């Protein structure tokens, strides 16, 4: 086994699995499948990331070219756990419609609920998200809800029956990293269901810092797909997620603004 | 072709003139769509896959044929 593989194996011994809605995952990284230059790069990148859960979108079949367009022509649903999203929906009604269509595909009851409220920032409409979450949870969906970094909304989403709450690090596709670590930490502290930070991670250090807040996982797409070398970035992210998680579990030293020598001050020569 | 032999339906938002007598399954086949790879919504209701061959397509029906694509 390669050194890098060994690192990940070691991490497994030092950390428990990620459990969401009765499903168990070794990887704490969830990845999207959008915006890759080619399907071959996408598959290589996802495999390099070590992610087991991958998101997909529901769209009309293009009847002019049906053969290669569907992602299941490229992505084996036996190899990855498919998490369908409701991306692009601006109302609770639309999101519910998309979720039902996704479930009818017959893979699982999970849905990444996303109801957008603003086109420029793609920030969520939390009221519509809550409404859709209640309806879908009532229909037996395992709802993983994309939301902003608002604690009260996160609590309401948990109360609505979501199996995971997914606050953003920063806007979708922005690559700005985690802009409000305090709120992310507070959400994690206050919720019992897994907290997955969804959106905004730009590079490996962002992923690492996000995991250091103590959250259960990170969901990303653009950071991988829009990297110059998506496969290499996926390797980097895999390690960043593990590094951040283990650093969180290990408990960091207190930071201080004056130096403390690491070597003994006694025994110095005259 | 006389009017009786064709009907007008909406498929994925576009109007199409198709032969009368199609089931959902035969319509999918005529469109070169594998029934196992899509989810069908007929007049805003999801149609279970095992009913494709039993449900007839009628004049004015609106069908949505969706599948999974890349997304985040």
CB-based contact, A129 to chain B, within 8 Å: no
For residues A110 and A233, give the distance between their C-alpha atoms in angstroms, rounded to a whole number. 27
CB-based contact, A46 to chain B, within 8 Å: no
Closest CA to A240 of A49, A81, A52: A49
Interchain contact, B70 vs A33, CB within 8 Å: yes
Query: Chain B contacts of A45, Cβ < 8 Å?
Result: none
Q: Domain with B7 in it: what CATH number?
A: 3.10.20.30
| Residue-wise pLDDT tens digits, A162-171 | 999 999 999 9
Number of Cβ atoms within 10 Å of the Cβ of A6 = 10
CB-based contact, A137 to chain B, within 8 Å: no
Look up the CATH superfamily of A3-250: Aldolase class I (3.20.20.70)
For residues A190 and A60, give the distance between their C-alpha atoms in angstroms, rounded to a whole number. 39
Q: How many separate domains does chain B show?
A: 1
Of chain A, the end-to-end C-alpha distance in Å amounts to 52
B42 lies in a domain? yes
Compare all CA atoms of chain A with the CA of B72 and give the residue at the minimum distance: A32
CB-based contact, A235 to chain B, within 8 Å: no
| Residue-wise pLDDT tens digits, A80-126 | 999 999 999 999 999 999 999 999 999 999 999 999 999 999 999 99
- Delimit the domains of chain A by residue range: 3-250
What pLDDT is attached to residue B38?
Answer: 94
Closest CA of chain B from A144, distance in Å: 13
Interchain contact, A63 vs B13, CB within 8 Å: no
Query: Chain B contacts of A61, Cβ < 8 Å?
Result: 12, 33, 38, 65-67
| Residue-wise pLDDT tens digits, A25-47 | 999 999 999 999 999 999 999 99
**Mean model confidence pLDDT for chain A:** 94
CB-based contact, A197 to chain B, within 8 Å: no
Query: Counting one residue from A and one from B, how many pairs have CB atoms under 8 Å apart?
Result: 100
B71 lies in a domain? no
Compare all CA atoms of chain B with the CA of A99 and give the residue at the minimum distance: B46
Please enumerate in sequence order all residues whose Cβ is within 8 A of that of A203, keeping only pairs 6 or more positions apart, or say none.
Answer: A175, A177, A223, A233, A236
B55 touches B42 (CB < 8 A): yes
Q: What mean pLDDT do residues A223-249 have?
A: 97
A117 touches A128 (CB < 8 A): yes
What pLDDT is attached to residue A106?
Answer: 93
**Which residues of A are annotated as catalytic?**
112
Query: Chain A contacts of B30, Cβ < 8 Å?
Result: none
CA A101 to mean position of chain CA atoms: 22
What pLDDT is attached to residue A64?
Answer: 85
Mutation to test the B interface, candidates A59, A61, A105, most B Cβ within 10 Å = A61
DSSP for A112-158 reads: EE--B--TTT--B-HHHHHHHHHHHHHTT-EEEEEE-S-HHHHHHHH
Closest CA to B3 of B22, B17, B14, B13: B17
Query: Chain A contacts of B46, Cβ < 8 Å?
Result: 100-101, 104
For residues A98 and A232, give the distance between their C-alpha atoms in angstroms, rounded to a whole number. 33
Burial class (CB in 10 A: 0-12, 13-18, 19+), A26: middle
| Residue-wise pLDDT tens digits, A123-144 | 999 999 999 999 999 999 999 9
- pLDDT-derived band at A68 (thresholds 50, 70, 90) equals low
Closest CA of chain A from B37, distance in Å: 8
Q: Name the residue range of residue B23's domain.
A: 3-66
What pLDDT is attached to residue A3?
Answer: 58
B61 touches B9 (CB < 8 A): yes
């Amino acid at each position: 086994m390669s050194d890098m593989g060994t690192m990940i194996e070691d991490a497994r011994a030092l950390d428990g699995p990620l459990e969401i809605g009765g499903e168990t995952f070794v990887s704490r990284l969830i990845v999207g499948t959008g915006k890759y230059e080619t399907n071959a790069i996408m598959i290589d990148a996802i495999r390099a990331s070590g992610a087991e859960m991958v998101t997909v979108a529901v769209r009309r079949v293009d009847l002019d070219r049906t053969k290669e367009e569907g992602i299941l022509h490229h992505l084996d649903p036996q190899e990855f756990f498919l998490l369908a999203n409701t991306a692009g929906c601006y109302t609770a009604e639309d999101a519910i419609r998309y979720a039902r269509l996704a479930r009818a595909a017959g893979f699982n009851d999970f849905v990444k609920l996303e109801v957008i409220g603003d086109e420029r920032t793609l920030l969520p409409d939390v009221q519509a998200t809550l409404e859709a979450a209640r309806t879908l949870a009532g229909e037996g969906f395992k709802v993983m809800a994309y939301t902003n970094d608002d604690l009260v909304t996160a609590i309401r989403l948990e109360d609505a029956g979501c199996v995971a709450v997914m606050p953003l690090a920063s806007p979708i596709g922005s690559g700005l990293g985690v802009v409000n670590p305090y709120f992310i930490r507070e959400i994690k502290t206050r919720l019992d269901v897994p907290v997955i930070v969804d959106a905004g991670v730009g590079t490996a250090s962002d992923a690492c810092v996000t995991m250091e807040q103590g959250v259960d996982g990170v969901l990303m797409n653009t950071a991988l797909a829009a990297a110059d070398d998506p496969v290499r970035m996926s390797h980097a992210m895999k390690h960043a997620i593990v590094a951040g998680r283990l650093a969180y579990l290990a408990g960091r030293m207190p930071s201080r603004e004056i130096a403390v020598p690491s070597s003994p001050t006694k025994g110095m020569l005259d | 072709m006389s009017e009786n032999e064709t009907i007008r339906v909406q498929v994925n938002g576009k109007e199409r003139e198709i032969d009368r007598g199609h089931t959902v399954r035969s319509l999918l086949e005529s469109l070169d769509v594998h029934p196992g790879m899509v989810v069908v919504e007929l007049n805003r209701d999801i149609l279970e896959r095992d009913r494709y061959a039993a449900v007839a397509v009628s004049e004015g029906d609106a069908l949505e044929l969706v599948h999974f694509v890349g997304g985040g």
